[in-house]
Amino acid sequence: KQEVTQIPAALSVPEGENLVLNCSFTDSAIYNLQWFRQDPGKGLTSLLLIQSSQREQTSGRLNASLDKSSGRSTLYIAASQPGDSATYLCAAKLIFGTGTRLQVFP
Amino acid sequence: NAGVTQTPKFRVLKTGQSMTLLCAQDMNHEYMYWYRQDPGMGLRLIHYSVGEGTTAKGEVPDGYNVSRLKKQNFLLGLESAAPSQTSVYFCASSGTSGLPPIVGELFFGEGSRLTVL
């Protein structure tokens, strides 16, 4: 059974910092892994979808990597901004982690 | 292009009452899903459907029923609501690719907040 873990559970950083969010999964037989952003009281917004054949996927200041063999994915956020404050979730084989709550302060 | 639309957005029920949540998608996706989100538990899959007329159980199916009579709609029903079903419910849909079909990118609705008193 797939289990997805996200570390850290919460993160507070000053504006401008580069940061890394971690996602690990137990079943490496995945076809893709997806990262989401969720603002309080809102739905999930898709950020990046990495196919199993890819190692990285980039969108603007976001870069996601995938290492299937080790069961890990990371989301790198460059030059963080207060508007990046949200909860970030990853999902593999329809199973979600509990998320990392990010706060970026000015 | 509306994407995934959920109705209603808010609902308060008394224990034992029944209700139906409606999810509609306009992306012609084959696959549709219902999740619930609870503090500290993350999102958990309740039921899903891989096509019109099909449904399957997810991680936490007990107390819920679903139907997919039309490709664009996926209904989640509670026959006898319990306080433990107080949650935020999310519907999602995805396309597929290849054979056997691989689940593609998930698209979510805005959620339906249900309170059972």
Mean of per-residue pLDDT scores for chain A = 95
Chain B hits for A40, Cβ within 8 Å: none
Residue-level pLDDT at A89:
98
In whole angstroms, give the CA distance from residue B68 to residue B50.
9
Is B42 in contact with A89 (Cβ distance < 8 A)?
yes
Is A98 in contact with B45 (Cβ distance < 8 A)?
no
pLDDT at B99 over 80: no
For residue B30, the one-letter residue type is: E
Sign of the Cα pseudo-torsion (B73, B78, B82, B84, in order): negative
Model pLDDT for residues B80-96, shown as the tens digit of each residue: 999 999 999 999 999 88
Q: Which residues of chain A have a Cβ shorter than 8 Å from any chain B Cβ?
A: 31-32, 34, 36, 42-46, 49, 89, 91, 93-99
Nearest CA in chain A to B37: A98
Phi, psi dihedrals of residue A70, rounded to the nearest 5°: -95, -5
Residue-level pLDDT at B40:
82
User: What are the structure tokens assigned to B29, written together?
Assistant: 């996706």
% chain A with pLDDT above 70? 100
Model pLDDT for residues A53-104, shown as the tens digit of each residue: 888 999 999 999 999 999 999 999 999 999 999 999 999 999 999 999 999 9
Instruction: Name which of B41, B44, B110 is nearest A43 (Cβ-Cβ).
Output: B110
pLDDT at B97 over 80: no
Phi, psi dihedrals of residue B69, rounded to the nearest 5°: -80, -30
DSSP state of A7: E
pLDDT at B101 over 90: no
Residue-level pLDDT at B1:
63
Comparison of pLDDT for B19 and B41, the residue scoring more: B19
Model pLDDT for residues B24-67, shown as the tens digit of each residue: 999 999 999 999 999 888 899 999 999 999 999 999 999 999 99
∠ Cα A61 A66 A68 (to 5°): 175
Mean of per-residue pLDDT scores for chain B = 94
How far is the alpha carbon of B107 from chain A, nearest alpha carbon, in Å?
Answer: 7
Instruction: Name which of B35, B42, B105 is nearest A49 (Cβ-Cβ).
Output: B105
Taking the CB of residue B53, how many other CB atoms lie within 10 A of it?
A: 11
